Amino acid sequence: MTNIVRSTCPYCGVGCGVEAHTTDSGSVEISGDKRHPANFGRLCVKGAALGETLGLEGRLLHPEINGERVEWNLALDETAARLQAIIDQFGPKAVAFYASGQLLTEDYYAANKLMKGFIGAGNIDTNSRLCMSSAVVGYKRAFGADFVPCSYEDLEQTDLVVLAGSNAAWAHPVLYQRLVQAKQQRPQMKVVVIDPRRTATCEIADLHLALRPGSDAALFVGLLNILSSSQVDNTFDGQTAALEIAANWTLEKTADFCQLDSVDVQTFWQWFAQANRAMTLYTMGINQSASGSDKCNAIINVHLASGKIGRPGCGPFSLTGQPNAMGGREVGGLANQLACHMSFDAADIARLGRFWGSERIAETPGLMAVELFEAVGRGEVKAVWIMGTNPLVSLPDSSRVAQALANCPLVIVSDVARETDTLRYATVKFPALAWGEKNGTVTNSERRISRQRAFLPAPGEARADWWMVAQIAQRLGYRQAFNWQHPQQIFSEHAALSGYQNNGTRAFDISVLANLSREQYDALEPVCWPIAAEEPSLFRSWRPDGKFQLVPVEPCLPQAVADHVYPLILNTGRIRDQWHTMTRTGRVPRLLQHITMPFLEIHPRDAIRYGVTNKGLVRVASRQGGMVARVLVSDNQRPGSVFVPMHWSQQFARRGLINALVAGVCDPHSGQPESKQTAVRIQRWQPAWQGEIFARAEIDFAPEIQWWRQSSSGVQHFLCAADSNVQAWVETLVSGRGWQLQTACGDGEFNHFLAWHKGELQLACYAAKSWPEINSVAVLAAFQQAPTSSAERYLLLAGKAPTAQEEAGATVCSCFGVGEKTILAAIASGCRSVAMLGEKLRCGTCCGSCIPELKTLLK
Ligand SMILES: Nc1nc2c(c(=O)[nH]1)N[C@H]1C(S)=C(S)[C@@H](COP(=O)(O)OP(=O)(O)OC[C@H]3O[C@@H](n4cnc5c(=O)[nH]c(N)nc54)[C@H](O)[C@@H]3O)O[C@H]1N2
Ligand SMILES: Nc1nc2c(c(=O)[nH]1)N[C@H]1C(S)=C(S)[C@@H](COP(=O)(O)OP(=O)(O)OC[C@H]3O[C@@H](n4cnc5c(=O)[nH]c(N)nc54)[C@H](O)[C@@H]3O)O[C@H]1N2
Ligand code: SF4
Ligand SMILES: [Mo]
């Protein structure tokens, strides 16, 4: 019998509905939920691969203190006692929580309540600080509330979509496909992409503005100037000052500042001014900037000034990144907010105190992510509880974060994975329930609250994040306030607080959901807040005077400046098939096959200038630190700027951490770091050898060997490179184990090794001057079933398949596992279009996110 549980995808902020089909035998299949209004059944590659992330291998399943497994009770008693001792001796501000937009609303509410309501300090911040805190500042300054005035269905009703600093094709794939469809249906709808890189998102762009990194504000301030002469019909607070600045941003000045063709700038301005309805979708290319808040307001300003807001098909739409980034904003998970859209003014503090029954409500905002870890480093914060985020990888200036945590007396980490870069520094490890096991709600980009429901039993001793918080709170003496047995009770409390003495003063009000029974909570259908209100009219209603703010914005360039020592600007971001620090997607082999190691994308002209070649290795360094990547020469890149993905941690590469280079300069209003611009230099690295290594069990790499993990279960598979002697290293590895070594070497050009033990393959190492062409499928197969004839063994030693087993090449279509070589062969045999390829190989027919690459291959 199959049991179907409806839930929500745990990855991006699109918030797609999924169905988990479980059978009695325990197998689980994930498919899209056709009834969910965020996706109507569609899933992207990551969502479709969720079923492959459910295994327990690599999971943290038991609490630990100082590396020793302990009983939950002891772990909780001990942790609470240590927290209490620190609070007693140094005060509540010596304790901090660092939470995540991937927690459920119920988890988040609990953590925020404990820290701000009962420990009594503002020190709870979240990884959303690195993500959309600038967007929050933008909305609050403009509207007086953190309200996203758009929905996905606006995309079907608009005339112009501007994507600013968003690679939605890879980062919000299902939403992007919706946009693709909308454009197919109404080709007259225009799409403008603003991004220094040409990305997969540009595939549907009528205009791509490949502007100078960090110069976006000028485009919108200049646009405001154009609008002011024709369209500004309303009086806004701040209007005079905003327009005064804008008046300086003529077409010439703007084009010059942004290093764009003035014809292109003018086209964009005209399209925006003339469109009856327009939307701007913006994400990290805007937010992750030392002037990100101002950029957000520059965008909101043009929508306000032209009246393209508060009606269908209009509005400034900040897309949230994480599945519950919006939920975090609702519960007040950022250090400078209180719960349910309340702020640190006396009336709100008093109101919250009444509702929670506490006299200890934090009276001032707490530390924001980057400064929080700086305070840890200075020893001012002595205990930090990290939940659902991996700051060693994702915060800027990683070596400083590592130093801070290494010296912090109490580091509590709640995670689902057993090994992460952050867990290395944990004093206390709490095993959390993962997706599929946990139960609660999340809110997506369009403010739609959906249920995540459990369809798997809790494994080992893993527990819900809210439960851990409640248990610690009870041990700190707050039993009454944290006496929940079920997430529904927390949700009810949160919903009630949202309406508590609200009277229309706070935009976030879901109090109609406060009295749901457990059955009703379990059956809750996806619902957008504000509930029971007409959205456009509501948008007007929380500023009863109708006054919105035009924030005066003076465009400026990034803090990072290229100079003769660090002449290139490093841009960082996402790739299609990986999620953040890869703790989940990195374990799915097919998701690692699209892009196998960190790359540095560079313009051909710069490649020549700096002497690097496609697929060669390169050392990248900033004033903060360095990493190693593989070169990808591409004219999608702007000259002067390079791109490296953010995902690789020390679990997946020896030196792949891009945040080792990022400085962590922050926006003064939002505290959001400038993760998109860092001045770097690059240096070609021609190692003595590079190659691939396969091993039956974990192996120790000599410290001078760079490695990039290709699989994290079963046979260990790595790409490697080093300047040292490969033969000497392999010999030490094999020595003393009684393995027989089979070697082949060709004149210093290549060195291949196979190590056998009792007829079983133990190790295969293929090293060469440049990347060897290895049939990894055949090599992996040889670990399952060793070749028997000596001819086959020689073929294996050559890295070839025993029979004419063809290799598919890098996976282009992850949904159906179709490789580049297969696609090229199909093109050679007559497939002339994406449709023909789809018919023959199925590639591109599921989520569609590989279509841009298929087109490139066709070209
Ligand atoms: N596959 C995948 N999808 C994800 C995630 C993931 O890890 N993997 N993470 C999710 C999360 S949390 C987030 S926040 C979102 C992020 O979603 P996005 O913001 O779309 O993703 P990024 O790749 O970080 O950056 C977007 C683009 O900003 C561009 N950019 C860099 N500098 C500038 C600039 O100065 N101006 C402009 N206009 N553009 C610039 C980059 O070239 C890049 O193409 O993705 C979500 N979705
Ligand atoms: N250079 C650069 N840096 C960036 C960015 C960039 O574009 N460039 N983007 C930034 C942005 S937008 C973001 S959102 C961050 C993301 O960065 P992180 O939040 O650090 O990345 P994740 O890998 O998602 O970390 C989530 C952690 O929580 C664990 N986990 C998963 N599910 C659960 C759960 O249910 N409970 C608990 N307790 N743990 C769980 C995972 O195993 C993982 O260790 O990175 C930021 N850093
Ligand atoms: S688009 Fe986002 S929410 Fe939807 S399936 Fe993909 S990762 Fe999940
Ligand atoms: Mo994010």
Non-local CB neighbours of 359 within 8 Å, separated by 6+ positions:
353
- Ligand 3 geometric centre to CA of 42 (Å): 9
pLDDT of residue 789: 86
What burial class does residue 503 get, using C-beta atoms within 10 Å of its C-beta: 0-12 exposed, 13-18 middle, 19+ buried?
Answer: exposed
Q: Which ligand is nearest to the CA of 174?
A: 3
pLDDT over 80 at 279, yes or no: yes
User: Amino acid identity of 342?
Assistant: M
Of 389, 392, 658, 666, the one to substitute when testing ligand 2's pocket (max ligand atoms within 8 A of C-beta) is 389
190/60 Cα distance (integer angstroms): 48
Ligand 3 centre distance from Cα of residue 43 (Å): 6
What confidence tens digit (pLDDT) does each residue in 414-460 have? 999 999 999 999 999 999 999 999 999 999 999 999 999 999 999 99
User: Higher model confidence: residue 35 or residue 233?
Assistant: 35
SS (H, E, C) 234-296: CCCECHHHHHHHHCCCCHHHHHHHHCCCHHHHHHHHHHHHHCCCEEEEECHHHHCCCCHHHHH
pLDDT at residue 846 in the model: 80
Structure tokens that stand for 563 in this block: 């100079």
Find the ligand nearest to 175 CA.
3
Whole-angstrom distance, CA of residue 586 vs CA of residue 407: 29
Q: Please give the average per-residue pLDDT across 219-225, as a whole number.
A: 97
How far apart are the CA of 670 and the centre of ligand 1, in A? 18
Cβ contact 523:450 at 8 Å: no
pLDDT band at 803 (very low <50, low <70, confident <90, very high): low
Q: Yes or no: say if 55 and 45 are a contact pair by the CB < 8 Å rule.
A: no
Ligand 1 atom with least separation from CA of 212: 35
CA–centroid distance, residue 443 to ligand 3 (Å)? 13
Query: Does ligand 1 have an atom closer than 6 angstroms to the CB of 47?
Result: no
Please state which of the ranges 193-197, 230-234, 697-701 shows the lowest mean pLDDT.
230-234
Question: Strands 278-282, 315-318: parallel, antiparallel or unpaired by DSSP?
Answer: parallel
For residue 402, how far is its CA from the centre of ligand 1 (angstroms)?
A: 25
pLDDT value for 244: 94
745 band by pLDDT with thresholds 50, 70 and 90: confident
Q: Residue 690 in 3-state DSSP?
A: strand
pLDDT at position 538: 53
> Quick one: 700 exposed, middle or buried, by C-beta within 10 A (0-12, 13-18, 19+)?
exposed
Query: Is 579's C-beta closer than 6 angstroms to any atom of ligand 1?
Result: yes
Which residue has its alpha carbon closest to ligand 3 atom 4? 16
pLDDT at position 49 over 60: yes
Q: Which DSSP symbol is given to 348?
A: H
Give the pLDDT band (50/70/90) at residue 512.
very high
For β-strands 626-633 and 190-194, DSSP reports them as unpaired
3-state secondary structure of 458: coil
Which ligand is the nearest neighbour of the Cα of 646?
2
Ligand 3 atom closest to the CA of 11, numbered from 1: 7
pLDDT score recorded for residue 494: 98
Quick: pLDDT tens for 144-153. 899 999 999 9
The closest of 371, 292, 163 to 677, measured between CA atoms, is 292
The residue with tokens 């009983």 is 71
Residues in the 5 Å CB sphere of ion ligand 4: 131, 321
Distance CA 13, CA 127 (A): 14
Residue 2, pLDDT score:
86
- Nearest atom in ligand 1 to the alpha carbon of residue 215 is 35
- Where do the domains of the chain lie, and which CATH numbers do they carry? 2-53 (3.30.200.210), 64-131+324-528 (3.40.50.740), 133-318 (3.40.228.10), 568-685 (2.40.40.20), 689-797 (no CATH), 811-858 (1.10.10.1100)
For residues 580 and 689, the answer to whether their CB atoms sit within 8 Å is no
442 CA → ligand 4 middle, Å:
15
Q: pLDDT per residue over 229-263, tens digit each? A: 655 555 788 999 999 999 999 999 999 999 999 99
Average predicted confidence (pLDDT) for the chain: 94
Say yes or no: CB of residue 129 within 6 Å of ligand 1.
Answer: no
Lowest mean pLDDT among 74-83, 116-125, 816-825: 816-825
Ligand 1 near 10 CB (within 6 A) = no
Q: How far apart are CA 551 and CA 236, in angstroms?
A: 9
pLDDT at position 231, please? 53
Which of 415, 419, 574, 579 has the most ligand 2 atoms within 8 A of CB, as the residue to mutate? 415
pLDDT of 541 over the 50 cut: no
Q: Is 212 in the pocket of ligand 1 (CB under 6 A)?
A: no
pLDDT at position 673, please?
98
Choose which residue among 128, 202, 212, 284 to substitute to test ligand 1 binding: the one with the highest number of ligand atoms within 8 A of its C-beta: 284
Q: Which two tokens stand for residue 433?
A: 């329930």
Mean local confidence (pLDDT), 568-580: 96
- Work out the pLDDT band at 547, boundaries 50, 70, 90: confident
The answer, yes or no, to whether residue 364 has pLDDT greater than 60, is yes
Distance 319 CA to ligand 4 centre (A): 10
Is pLDDT above 90 for 58? yes
Q: Quick check: 813 pLDDT over 90?
A: no
CA of 154 relative to ligand 4 center, distance in Å: 23
The pick from 6, 14, 814 for probing ligand 3's pocket by mutation, whose C-beta has the most ligand atoms within 8 angstroms, reads: 14
Q: Which backbone phi and psi does 438 adopt, to 5 degrees?
A: -95, 170
Lining ligand 3 with CB less than 6 A are 9, 11-12, 14-16, 39, 43-44, 46-47, 172-174
Query: What is the DSSP secondary structure assignment for residue 666, as one 8-state letter?
Result: B
| Ligand 1 atom with least separation from CA of 173 | 3
824-842 pLDDT, tens digit per residue, is 888 888 898 898 898 888 8
Kind of pairing between the strands at 617-621 and 626-633: antiparallel
User: Cα–Cα distances in Å, from 34 out to 68, 166, 807?
Assistant: 46, 26, 36
Closest listed ligand to the CA of 389: 2
Q: Which residue has the higher pLDDT, 735 or 684?
A: 684
Which amino acid, one-letter code, is at 525?
A: E
Distance CA 360, CA 300 (A): 37
Q: pLDDT-derived band of residue 536, with 50, 70 and 90 as boundaries?
A: very low
pLDDT of residue 545: 54
pLDDT above 50 (res 540): no
Nearest to 216 by CA among 556, 711, 477: 556
Task: Tell whether the model's pLDDT for residue 797 goes beyond 80.
Answer: yes
pLDDT score recorded for residue 542? 46
Burial (0-12, 13-18, 19+ Cβ within 10 Å), 326: buried
Closest CA to 216 of 305, 284, 136: 284
Joined together, the tokens standing for residue 774 give 């290895």
**What one-character-per-residue DSSP string does 489-507 give?**
HHHHHHHHHHHTT-TTSSS
280 with 299: CB under 8 angstroms? yes
Q: Are 74 and 297 in contact (CB under 8 A)?
A: no
What distance in angstroms lies between residue 451's CA and the mean position of ligand 3's atoms?
Answer: 15
Distances (CA, A) of 764 to 44, 292, 629, 755: 35, 49, 23, 6
Q: How far is the CA of 83 from the centre of ligand 1 (A)?
A: 37
Three-state secondary-structure class, residue 403: helix
Residue 171 near ligand 1, beta carbon < 6 Å: yes
pLDDT at 230: 59
Spatial neighbors of 736 by CB under 8 A, at least 6 apart, are none
pTM: 0.94
C-alpha of residue 574 to centroid of ligand 4, in Å = 10
* Residue 356 reports pLDDT greater than 90: yes
Give yes or no for residue 637 having a pLDDT over 70. yes
518-524, long-range: CB < 8 A, 24+ apart: 518/486, 518/488, 521/451, 521/488, 521/491, 521/492, 522/451, 522/453, 522/488, 524/441, 524/449, 524/451
Cα distance between residue 767 and residue 750, in whole Å: 6
**Ligand 1: centre distance to CA 539 (Å):** 28
CA of 474 to the centre of ligand 2 (A): 28
Q: Please say if the pLDDT value at position 22 is more than 60.
A: yes
Q: What are the angstrom distances between the C-alpha of 622 and each of 565, 568, 629?
A: 9, 10, 14
Instruction: Identify the residues whose C-beta falls under 6 Å from ligand 2.
Output: 100, 102, 127, 130-131, 284, 288, 321-322, 387-391, 393-394, 414-417, 420, 432, 434, 438, 465, 572-573, 580-581, 583, 646, 658-659, 662, 675
Q: What is the pLDDT of residue 800?
A: 86
Q: What is the mean pLDDT of residues 127-153?
A: 95
Q: What's the rounded mean pLDDT across residues 774-790?
A: 89
Take atom 2 of ligand 3 and give the residue whose Cα is closest. 12
Q: Are 388 and 583 in contact (CB under 8 A)?
A: no
Mean pLDDT for the stretch of residues 173-189 = 97
**Residue 134 in this model has a pLDDT that exceeds 60:** yes
- Least confident window among 131-140, 555-564, 573-582, 793-802: 793-802
Annotate 67-96 with b (16+ C-beta within 10 A) or e (fewer).
Answer: eeebebeebbebbbebbbebbeeeebbbbb
Q: Tokens representing 120? A: 């009594």
